[in-house]
Amino acid sequence: MINVTELRPGNYFIDEGVLYLVLDILLNKTAMRKMVAKIKAKNLRTGAILDLSRNSGYLVEPVRLDKKKMTYLYDTDNTLVFMDQVTFDQIELEKDKMVWERNFLVSNAEIEILAYEDEILGLSLPPKVALEIIECEPAVRGDTVNKAMKDAILETGLKLRVPLFIESGETILVRTDNGQYDGRA
């Protein structure tokens, strides 16, 4: 057990039987009061993001998640199929729980699966992925007053804004945390 004031972003912990990922933590100390830890945490089973407030001295159980490298193969009507690269075992995850992650999955992509005591919790995406543009608006000449951007659709169906010089068929880097253009691949 550890004190909540020792948690840092990226840590996993269990509090009252619920498994959380720390997204952000703010420690607040006022003159006549104990230190308060304000934790922005993600419930790993439901995906809900919560704001927790705990006093200093409150103990939580730290957790280590297992990460297993797997290859994304294909999707069926309501599942995504992944294959272990060592044992060639296949697992299926529900599409409904992977709505954001599906924007960055292409066949044969290497992904880390997060698990806790044989319970699969989700995917750990890399910070950036390379995706091909399948449809892109033509550039409008003279439209450079602000940061000149245009709409594009990627091979996964994700829609985003790209600079005017990007054309259809190019491969670009996309950030997985916010789904924005990051550069050419």
pLDDT of residue 31: 82
Sign of the CA dihedral running 52, 17, 178, 65: positive
* Residues 6+ away with beta carbon under 8 Å from 68: 84, 112, 113, 115
User: What is the spatial distance between Cα 46 and Cα 122, in angstroms, rounded to a whole number?
Assistant: 10
pLDDT of residue 150: 86
Q: What is the residue whose two structure tokens read 């998640």?
A: 65
pLDDT of residue 144: 61
pLDDT of residue 106: 87
pLDDT of residue 143: 58
pLDDT of residue 142: 64
pLDDT of residue 15: 92
Give which of 1, 105, 139 is closest to 63, Cα–Cα: 1
Domains located in the chain, CATH noted: 2-63 (2.30.30.30), 66-124 (2.40.50.140), 128-184 (2.40.50.140)
Which residues, given as ranges, of the chain have pLDDT below 70?
140-146
Neighbouring CB atoms inside 10 A of 109's CB total 18
What pLDDT digit, counting tens, does each position of 126-142 carry? 889 999 999 988 876 66
pLDDT of residue 46: 83
What pLDDT digit, counting tens, does each position of 87-111 carry? 999 988 888 888 888 888 888 888 8
How many residues in the chain? 185
